[in-house]
Structure 1
Amino acid sequence: MPDWDCDLYLKFERERAQAARDLISRIPPLAPRRIVDLGCGPGNSAAILAHCFRGADILGLDTSEKMLEAACERAPFARFLRQDFCDWTPEEPVDLIFANAALHFAPDHHQFVPKLLSFLNPGGVLAVQMPNVLQDAAHALMRMVSVDGPWAERLAPVAKSRAIIGSLDDYYAWLAPHCRMVELWQTIYVHPLDGHDAIVDWFVGSALRPFLAKLERDEAPAFLAHYRRELEMAYTPQADGKVLLLYPRLFFVAQR
């Protein structure tokens, strides 16, 4: 798959960073010495973490070279490593594991979440936010468009392989036996965007990447045009021309 487009991803930096700020605000009183940022992206979360936990050693993990280049430029005070966080094991226990819009890329959460908890010092915290978009209209439409065109045979497997995350009950069951405190919640963020093209850009920089990777170069414009037409029917513009992208996210903070 082509590498991430950092500029397009950061076009909506303010909206994407809000969930990270909200997640950090719910971390219990903590003075972490070692923080690991899973799926650190372009370093926006690392910058917020550094501001909130001054003096902590921050390590960001990501597989994207372009994201890591941007992260090193934005957060030179942190360390960054190109590695799949699913395969990561710390050399010594850490105090805070932070995963903002990343953990949904990991399989087998019933095993992976307890594994992450085992990497924490006593009193350490696992803080996670994930898009919870299985029923979201924009994601449902990209799956629909993927099977309605000359690309259907190639894109149907992508549509079927979408990330499936657990329920609040699931995460409580996986976390509670190992933790002194577990807090879970869901939030639907309402992002006023500049028209349907902005929704397309939002997802071209994220969830549409696996679909576009399977298309020929001359097919992508037709695919995106079809997707945009479906968005026009699903998202009614406001009086000022904005469209409201409702984006549900699942959070949990667990202290070992």
Structure 2
Amino acid sequence: MAVRATVSRFPATPEALESCAVQWGVAVTPFAAVDERGQPPTTGAGGDRIPRCEHCWAYLSSHCDLERWGWTCALCGTLNGFDDEAERRFQRPDACPELNSSFVDLEIAVDEAGAGGDGVQALPVYVAAVDLACSEEFLELIKSALLAALEALIPGSLFGLMTFSHKIGLYDVQGPIPLVKNVFIPPDLEEDGLPVALEDAMPLLSFLAPFIGRLTHARIELLLPWRHCDLHLHGREGLLLGMKRMLFCLADVVLGQPCLL
């Protein structure tokens, strides 16, 4: 994965971000062959032994703060404890690829007993998250790119579509009538979560639709008359909070976990 920031130094606090008046952001290429410096990934085995966050299920990485008995998640800020095995491994940090590089490709052992008995085949999952805080012209480009990307999906792939701004939109294209359900983000929202949990607004099995060619393509196209979200009307904080919630939801969807927002 390659991550390229718009500036070389990150603002330490939201106040610093506002006061510097500089457009800050990152461009993420999830499946890049090299990182932002052109370096290939660090490889190794034992991917199943990397600790994961108790709250958002993210992996420990070189971006996380480590302590003697635990680590702080770089994504959600949760403090996690080490088990005995992890504590022994991290006594030799040079032997842990996940601590020496932000771009790692580790093998995970396959459970032969549970993999082949039921004849279940894993299907690829694709989730598109669209930020509506942009111009109408840019949204038109996003629509065209999204519809073009659908043409490349293999039949049977699971596809989910969500939008975010001052609200989170969850798209259901499986029912008799395709629809979108919106969960609004209150401006005074605390870190405890949304007023309505996303799994209550739309279950994961309804959100992830099996892609069956032109039928799904046409249903998604019916739901794309997006309108841009005005930053001045809804506030930068609300948009950033919406983006944060979307990142958690994307992590949950890709990892097959329920969306605990």
- Normalised to the residue count of structure 1, the TM-score between the two structures is 0.27
* Larger fraction in helix: 1
Q: Which has the higher contact order (CA 8 A, sep 6+)?
A: 1
Larger radius of gyration: 2
- Normalised to the residue count of structure 2, the TM-score between the two structures is 0.27
